[in-house]
Amino acid sequence: MLPSECPLVVAGGGPAGYMAAITAAEAGLAGVLLLEATDQPLGKVLISGGGRCNVTHACWDPRALVGHYPRGARALLGPFSRFATGDTLRWFAGHGLELVEEPDGRLFPRSNRSSSVVKTLEAAAAAAGVTVWRGAALRGAAASAAGGFALQVRHREQPLECQRLLLATGGHPSGRQLAAGLGHQLVPPVPSLFTLALEANPLTALSGVVMEPVDLDLELPAGERFRQSGIVLLTHWGLSGPATLRLTAFAARALKDHRYQASLKVNWCGGRSAADVEALLAACRQEQPRRQLAACRPWPELSRRLWLHLLERHGVDGQKRWADFGKADQRRVLEGLRASRYAVRGRGPFGEEFVTAGGVALGEVNLATMESRKQPGLFLAGELLDIDGVTGGFNFQHCWTSGWLAGQAIAQQAKQPAAAN
């Protein structure tokens, strides 16, 4: 049987909600109730990272860490100064889960299974005395005149009273509606971390090719430019991979404003300068004069399929011998390798985006405690806020940080009246 009144109700059984509930309970707050709308709390954790869960990223300096957040970077410096990557590692280690670092800096559970992260959080919540109510969606919330909140919960006829309410509903529209109903201004949500669809995709035949590093230069119709470098995956609809996702994260609002129409310049040269590439082409002429261009790439890491595509697209006959490779050929090949241009005409498959940019405006939240500046006793954490990061564990790190700060602040507030007495 659930009580009719709770000191704290957490709406949202995701990473931020669990961290906040556990932190508050471990700090001495009894009677914490966590509401999860689905039958599977921590569902996003379970499916993240291909079922491995990229818990956070080995970026130890808060000043460097904030650079991975297209929105909210400056605002996060204070919160990360109190709870960041190292604190997350220690927190999970203290609850029995070891995280291990991969060469690219991503941190995963040693088991390599996201279920280990879920089990750790669920066990910590149970041990701390947190009650988790599954299938209980928060339908409405109203501030009470005497303080606290009256909540309307699915499958419950009578209102649920609570002294403090934490909204950690992620990117779901219901959470934004609840926040707006409690007086908050919302930054309109837009997709972030998505792939790019190319017009009449000339790369369709190259689906599955991975290149690293690739330089991407996105230019919007109004002249705005965004650049990223890293791994790119070619797909049957366009471009994906970490570099593309980072690019779209930083360009999310500009792309939305221009209906996802843009020009993309791609440098396939792996960080090589124009002089370096010219030297490699000269070496092919000198060392492989009798071989055809199609059979001899300038460097081994260049995908053969991509090399053939670039030759054809830029009007260079792949059957030509390197001995006959002239200045006009070199100019066109250099252009293809260093400045291939493609027309962006949309996002990848619908629903593929990983994160939503937008949410509660940061100026309306005290980021030291995650308490609303509009409504006392209301706290907000996780993706509901207008904060989002790039891939690599950064979005989860913000959830751990904001949840921990909210849980600490709520427990401290709850102790103050007792201390005063």
DSSP string, 137-156: -EEEEEE-TTSSEEEEETT-
Residue 157's pLDDT is what? 84
CA distance 160 to 180: 20
- Domains parsed from the chain with CATH numbers: 5-190+354-420 (3.50.50.60), 195-353 (no CATH)
| C-alpha distances out from residue 359 to 69, 171, 195, 396, 402, Å | 14, 8, 22, 16, 14
Residue 356's pLDDT is what? 85
Which structure tokens are listed for 403? 């949840």
Query: Residue 364, Cβ neighbours under 10 Å: how many?
Result: 18
Residue 50 CB partners (closer than 8 Å, separation 6+): none
Strands 131-134 and 32-36, sheet pairing: parallel
Residue 420's pLDDT is what? 42
CA distance 123 to 129: 10
Q: Per-residue confidence of the chain (421 residues) as pLDDT tens digits?
A: 677 899 999 999 999 999 999 999 999 999 999 999 999 999 999 999 889 999 999 999 999 999 999 999 999 999 999 999 999 999 999 999 999 999 999 999 999 999 999 999 999 999 999 999 999 999 999 999 989 999 999 988 889 999 999 999 998 999 999 999 999 999 999 999 999 999 999 999 999 999 999 999 999 999 999 999 999 999 999 999 999 999 999 999 999 999 999 999 999 999 999 999 999 999 999 999 999 999 999 999 999 999 999 999 999 999 999 999 999 999 999 999 999 999 999 998 755 556 889 999 999 999 999 999 999 999 999 999 999 999 999 999 999 999 999 999 999 999 986 444 3
Residue 1's pLDDT is what? 63
Residue 56 CB partners (closer than 8 Å, separation 6+): 85, 88, 89, 99, 107, 393, 394, 396, 397, 400
Per the CB < 8 A criterion, the answer to whether 395 and 389 are in contact is yes
Sign, Cα dihedral of 128, 12, 403, 60: positive
